[in-house]
Amino acid sequence: MSNQNPVGNGQAAGTPAQPSAAQLTIHKIYLKDASFEVPGGAQVFQEQGQPQFKLELNQRVERISDDTFEVVLGVTLTCELAEKVVFLAEIKQAGIFGLAGFDERGLQSVLGTYCPQTLFPYARSIISELVMNGGFPPFVLQPINFDQLFAEQMRRRSEEQAAGSPAQAPADSSN
């Protein structure tokens, strides 16, 4: 019987190492910040008319270590009626993700699509709860195609680079 020592990737000593597969791990999902405001106070509940909603999304990525990233999905929902702000709900839903074995393009793609898509259902739930707890009818954010948003952002970035304009760092996106 031979005594073989294991190698870090599960291969026995002396066995050729195979390329490691890309790995993604969700370490933590948490609410980083939340705010709900009704600037007009009780008077807004007397107003009549059709409210207008404006949704803003943004994303920030911070590298915590070589293969660990904090991704923060910012969601701001503004409701206006007759050009007055009825309510403003703003959250920052965050997650800590481990990503190992990705090439740079794959890493940027996962950070720009998979991570915000993972955070979005949590953000949707919190926005809905904030609006209802604020005394307003339920509001459900519609699904968002983060793949399409990322592709559009990459297209704009390529055009800016071709035109000689400075572009943002790849891990920082604002949608």
In the chain, where the domains are located: 23-135
Region of 9 (left: φ > 0; alpha: ψ -120 to 50; beta: rest) is alpha
Per residue in 31-53, pLDDT tens? 999 999 999 889 888 889 999 99
Is pTM beyond 0.85? Reply is no
Tokens 């793949």 identify what position? 147
Closest CA to 62 of 75, 73, 47, 50: 73
Domain at 23-135: CATH code: 3.10.420.10
Per residue in 97-135, pLDDT tens? 999 999 999 999 999 999 999 999 999 999 999 999 999
Q: Which stretches within 36-114 are classed as H helix?
A: 104-109
Reported confidence tier of residue 93, pLDDT bands at 50, 70, 90: very high
